[in-house]
Structure 1
């Protein structure tokens, strides 16, 4: 078995459990009994998890809703493709509302962080276009990762904070908040402390950070670092897990697996997030080809089942 593949035995076992629920005619509810517990989380599907099934924007929203998610995290390029194919953004907002699902965030890539002033100006114009589009579908946030600065020189963190502040100022006109995203493989913003510093020093009241189980591991941050973040600074958190092999130095995005299937301290993480006592969206973000081979609805249901089980265990 390839090192970046999930255990086929575990996958088959989990798939059969979800498949049984589908065969019993439960397409809109989780299979099996679920202990109801009070918590501060919403469950979201990042569409990376089912992106190779090529459902299109509307299909992804429908799948997330049918699987039982509260929310969805879309990709900007998927929204753009929908528009290019003649889609009406107002229909997207209505579809989500009709299905009772919120659009919490969009994954986008602009070079807002780089030293080159002309590139930053282009990035801000790009963000304006994207935020205007996202506002029409009712999307609340957009990711702001260190795109364009993942290799090369280490940037001055104070400069990064100022640049993030400018991005936040732009967002004030659209109501779509950029979340400062940590990328564990990046030269810049690969540590929790770095994103927290830049968010704090941006001076903007809506500054917030987007962290991730996998990226915490990949970047080398202690999971205890989450204790230093206030509840309001973490509005969303990317959920996934990782195996023991390959090691941190060579692990990559494709090695991510479902929460509870790996060695990450998921219970510790969720306890810490729960203790913040503020609303937090847990968004499942996976890039694993084994899940891409599955039926999209089955994969989505498997994901929410794993997330809910992890939450129940953490706060029992």
Structure 2
């Protein structure tokens, strides 16, 4: 498995600092936080961003993310954003775009959720194909997210049946949403775009800000990684936190700790 660093973990740092700190810490890959990329592009342009990754020999593996891709009023807005990010991904040598299902305001039956998800993912897949970019469908383990378990996300991806559409597994969402390791064992490892790794101090009423470094919480991460190895997954594993305590610390310090914590499991 290859170790990656997600820009959400150091949200207050810019893209240049993320790249420098991730490389210094020992990471091979980086996940680009979308707003950081767009901010740098405004000032420096695509070629300078591309040069940043090349100088540091750090491969950008994903751009995070297009959110609320389903149950959103303006479908064309999401498709336009998809095209914009896929174009950038091709120019920067990024493998894929993270796409996130929508949240629900009330009850929606499972078939409607599946139909809506499959429809939108197929449309986005057609856009991404033009740029040879993959899409990673990331289920969120929150009760009001339309797709909050791995078996539901996998079923949708199978129905989409496009080579450039896979799943993203996040340990926070996996365990907080009630997904089980035996469900992970049924996933084709080639269809997992990336694995987001973090830990939690609890499993009830979980918020993104509750995330802590791998090994600092209660999640059975050893069993999780053992399952990944058992199914033959050898792709990227990425530290992704949304914890303000880490945001306040120097980015290179956080990246160094993240690398050491993640390496202990790989």
Normalising by structure 1, what TM-score? 0.79
* 1:150 shift after superposition: 4.3
Cα separation, partners in 2 of 1:254 and 1:111, compared to 1, 3 Å: closer
1:73 is aligned, of 14, 31, 35, to: 31
Cα separation, partners in 2 of 1:48 and 1:190, compared to 1, 3 Å: same
Moved over 4 A (4+): none
Give the secondary-structure state (helix, strand or coil) at the position aligned to 2:4.
Answer: strand
* 1:110 shift after superposition: 4.3
Cα separation, partners in 2 of 1:109 and 1:205, compared to 1, 3 Å: closer
Give the secondary-structure state (helix, strand or coil) at the position aligned to 1:58.
Answer: helix
2:193 is aligned, of 235, 259, 263, to: 235
1:267 is aligned, of 222, 233, 237, to: 222
Q: Which runs of 5+ in 2 are unaligned?
A: none
- Matches of 1:235 and 1:279 in 2, distance apart? 11
1:172 is aligned, of 122, 126, 129, to: 129
Give the secondary-structure state (helix, strand or coil) at the position aligned to 1:74.
Answer: strand
- Matches of 2:152 and 2:30 in 1, distance apart? 27
1:302 is aligned, of 248, 254, 257, to: 257
How many residues are matched?
262
Partner of 1:45: 5
Partner of 1:162: 119
* 1:165 shift after superposition: 1.4
* 1:87 shift after superposition: 0.9
1:281 is aligned, of 219, 233, 236, to: 236
Partner of 2:88: 133
* 1:115 shift after superposition: 6.3
Larger Rg: 1
Give the secondary-structure state (helix, strand or coil) at the position aligned to 2:132.
Answer: coil
Give the secondary-structure state (helix, strand or coil) at the position aligned to 2:55.
Answer: helix
Kept after mapping to 1: 8 A contact 2:90/2:132: yes
- Matches of 1:73 and 1:151 in 2, distance apart? 30
- Matches of 1:174 and 1:150 in 2, distance apart? 31
* 1:111 shift after superposition: 4.0
Partner of 1:200: 158
Kept after mapping to 2: 8 A contact 1:200/1:207: no
What per-residue deviation string (whole Å, max 9, x for no partner) do you get for residues 210-236 of structure 1?
111110122111233211101111121
Give the secondary-structure state (helix, strand or coil) at the position aligned to 1:190.
Answer: coil
- Matches of 2:132 and 2:15 in 1, distance apart? 21
- Matches of 2:36 and 2:104 in 1, distance apart? 23
The RMSD of aligned alpha carbons is: 1.6
* 1:179 shift after superposition: 0.5
Cα separation, partners in 2 of 1:271 and 1:102, compared to 1, 3 Å: same
What per-residue deviation string (whole Å, max 9, x for no partner) do you get for residues 257-311 of structure 1?
1111111110111111122324311010011122122221111010110111122
Normalising by structure 2, what TM-score? 0.93
Whether 1:58 aligns to 2:20 is no
- Matches of 1:299 and 1:204 in 2, distance apart? 37
- Matches of 1:310 and 1:267 in 2, distance apart? 7
